[in-house]
C-alpha cells in the first residue's frame, strides 16, 4: 500500500515547536481536501488516545496544533507521539471518518443582507451592487435562480472551526475548480454583520454565529442558528455549537414564508435539525470525486 504522500502527492508533514506549549504540524501550505482529511484523522486519533499533558487539539484547513503542559509531558516525547500518529494516518486506507450531514435552510438574497450591503457600500468593490448580485457577477451568473441552484447543489465540508466560537469554514465537495463559486472579501471589513448571515470569501463559505465584524460577501440568511446558548434546541443540548470539523453542511433554499416558520419553531424549541451520520472515506472521495459524494448524499 502506497503512503498518502505518494498516492496523493502530498509533502511530508513539517513539525514546529511554538514557544514551550505548542507543536504546530503543517501538512500543506495550500488548501487541499486531502490535507484536511489527514488533519482531521490525526487530531481525532490524538483525542482518542487521551495522552496525559495535552491541553487542547485544533485541526485547521491543512494543518493542526497541539497545546500541552510541559510539566506533564516533554516536548520531545509529545513530538514523538504526534509524529508516529501522523505517519500512521499517511495510509489512506486507515482514514475513514464518521461525520454528520446537516441541512442548513437558507433564504437567499434576503432583505437583511441587502440592507447590510447598502450600509457598508463604501467598503465594497462595487458599491452599486448588493453582495448577492456582486457574487453572481464575478461568477458569471445572470439568472438568480440558476445561481441559487448551483450554490445549494453542492455539499460543503467543514474544514476548520474557530475565530469566533461556532464559526465554521466550509469548502465545496465534489466540484471541479471551475465549478466552485468564489468571491473576494470586502476591500475593508464591515463593522457589523448580522447573526446567521451566510457569506462567501474565496472558495470558503461561513454562517456568522453572532453579530459582529466581517468581510465575506453576504448572500443570504440561515433560518437556523449555528450557536444556541439558550439551551432550547434538542440537537444542541450536549454542546451549544452545531459545527464539528469534518461534518458536511448542505444548504436548502427556502422562501420568506418557510424561513419565518422555521424561525418560529426555533424560538419555541421545537425545531430539529435534519442530519444523518455517515462514514466518509477519503480514499473513495479522491478516487471517485463527485460520484462518491452523490452516493453519500443519497436522497438527503
Task: Check whether 161 has a pLDDT greater than 70.
Answer: yes
- Identify the weakest region by mean pLDDT among 51-55, 60-64, 215-219, 275-279: 60-64
| CATH code of residue 112 | 2.40.100.10
pLDDT at residue 38, rounded to an integer: 86
Per-residue model confidence (pLDDT) at position 10: 58
Domain termination residue (choose one: 51, 68, 91): 91
- Is residue 61 pLDDT above 60, yes or no? yes
- In this predicted model, what pLDDT tens digit does every residue of 239-271 receive, in sequence order? 899 999 889 999 999 999 999 999 999 999 999
Give me the CATH number covering residue 87: 3.30.1360.40
* pLDDT at 3 (0 to 100): 52
Do 130 and 175 sit in the same domain of this protein? yes
45 and 146 in one domain?
no
Q: Of 39, 61, 91, which closes a domain?
A: 91
Q: Are residues 102 and 86 in the same domain?
A: no
Domain boundary among 54, 74, 91: 91
Are residues 176 and 291 part of one domain?
A: yes
Residue 122, pLDDT > 50, answer yes
Query: For residue 265, with 0-12 CB atoms within 10 Å meaning exposed, 13-18 middle and 19 or more buried, which class applies?
Result: middle
Query: Residue 148 has what pLDDT?
Result: 98
Question: How many domains would you assign to the chain?
Answer: 2
Average pLDDT over residues 21-26: 94
Percent of the chain at pLDDT above 90? 66
Q: What pLDDT does residue 1 have?
A: 46
Whether 125 and 221 map to the same domain: the answer is: yes
- What torsion do the CA atoms of 207, 212, 218, 220 make, to the nearest 10 degrees? 60
213 and 126 together in one domain: yes
Q: Are residues 181 and 105 in the same domain?
A: yes
Residues 160 and 277 in one domain: yes
Round the average pLDDT of the chain to a whole number and report it: 90
Residue range 141-154: average pLDDT? Answer: 96
Predicted confidence band at 281 (pLDDT cuts at 50, 70, 90)?
Answer: confident
Task: Report whether pLDDT(94) > 70.
Answer: no
Q: Are 78 and 173 within one domain?
A: no
- Quick one: 8 and 134 in the same domain? no
For 188-288, where are the alpha helices, taking DSSP H only? Answer: 256-268, 282-288
Q: Angle between the 75-88 and 33-49 helix axes, to the nearest 10 degrees?
A: 120
- The reply to whether 176 and 103 lie within a common domain is yes
CA dihedral 104, 139, 195, 44 (to 10 degrees): 60
Worst-scoring range by mean pLDDT, 11-15, 49-53, 147-151, 193-197?
A: 11-15
Residues 245 and 106 both lie in one domain: yes
Q: Is the pTM of this model over 0.95?
A: no
pLDDT at residue 11 is higher than 80: no
Domain containing 232: what range? Answer: 98-297
% of residues, the chain, pLDDT over 70: 95
Q: Which of the four pLDDT bands, split at 50, 70 and 90, describes residue 282?
A: confident
pLDDT at 7 over 70: no
Task: Tell me how many degrees the CA angle 32-33-39 measures, rounded to the nearest 5.
Answer: 95
Give the pLDDT score at 289.
84
Q: What is the largest CA-CA distance in the chain?
A: 61
The per-residue pLDDT for 265 is 97
The mean-pLDDT minimum among 37-46, 117-126, 146-155, 208-217 falls in: 37-46
Given this model, what pLDDT does residue 28 score? 82
Residues 90 and 82: their CA atoms lie apart, in Å, by 12
Amino acid at each position: 500500500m502506497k503512503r498518502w504522500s505518494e498516492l496523493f502527492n502530498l509533502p511530508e508533514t513539517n513539525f514546529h515547536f511554538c514557544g514551550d506549549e505548542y507543536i504546530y504540524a503543517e501538512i500543506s501550505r495550500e488548501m487541499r481536501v486531502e490535507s484536511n482529511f489527514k488533519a482531521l484523522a490525526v487530531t481525532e486519533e490524538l483525542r482518542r488516545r487521551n495522552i496525559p499533558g495535552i491541553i487542547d487539539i485544533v485541526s485547521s484547513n491543512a494543518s493542526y496544533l497541539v497545546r500541552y503542559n510541559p510539566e506533564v509531558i516533554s516536548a520531545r516525547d509529545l513530538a514523538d507521539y504526534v509524529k508516529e500518529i501522523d505517519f500512521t494516518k499517511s495510509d489512506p486506507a486507515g482514514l475513514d471518518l464518521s461525520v454528520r450531514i446537516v441541512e442548513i435552510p437558507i433564504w437567499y438574497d434576503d432583505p437583511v443582507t441587502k440592507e447590510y450591503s447598502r450600509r457598508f457600500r463604501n467598503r465594497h468593490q462595487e458599491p452599486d451592487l448588493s453582495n448577492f448580485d456582486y457574487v453572481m457577477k464575478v461568477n458569471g451568473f445572470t439568472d438568480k435562480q440558476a445561481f441559487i441552484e448551483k450554490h445549494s447543489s453542492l455539499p460543503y465540508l467543514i474544514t476548520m472551526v474557530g475565530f469566533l466560537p461556532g464559526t465554521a469554514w466550509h469548502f465545496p465537495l465534489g466540484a471541479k475548480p471551475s465549478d466552485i463559486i468564489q468571491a473576494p472579501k470586502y476591500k475593508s471589513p464591515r463593522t457589523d454583520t448580522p447573526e446567521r448571515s451566510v457569506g462567501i470569501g474565496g472558495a470558503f463559505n461561513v454562517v456568522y454565529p453572532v453579530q459582529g465584524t466581517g468581510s465575506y460577501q453576504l448572500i443570504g440568511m440561515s433560518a437556523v442558528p449555528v450557536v444556541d446558548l439558550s439551551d432550547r434546541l434538542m440537537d444542541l443540548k450536549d454542546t451549544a455549537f452545531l459545527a464539528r470539523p469534518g461534518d458536511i453542511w448542505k444548504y436548502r433554499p427556502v422562501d420568506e414564508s418557510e424561513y419565518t416558520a422555521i424561525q418560529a419553531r426555533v424560538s419555541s424549541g421545537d425545531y430539529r435539525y435534519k442530519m444523518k451520520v455517515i462514514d466518509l472515506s477519503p480514499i473513495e472521495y479522491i478516487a471517485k470525486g463527485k460520484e462518491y459524494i452523490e452516493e453519500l448524499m443519497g436522497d438527503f
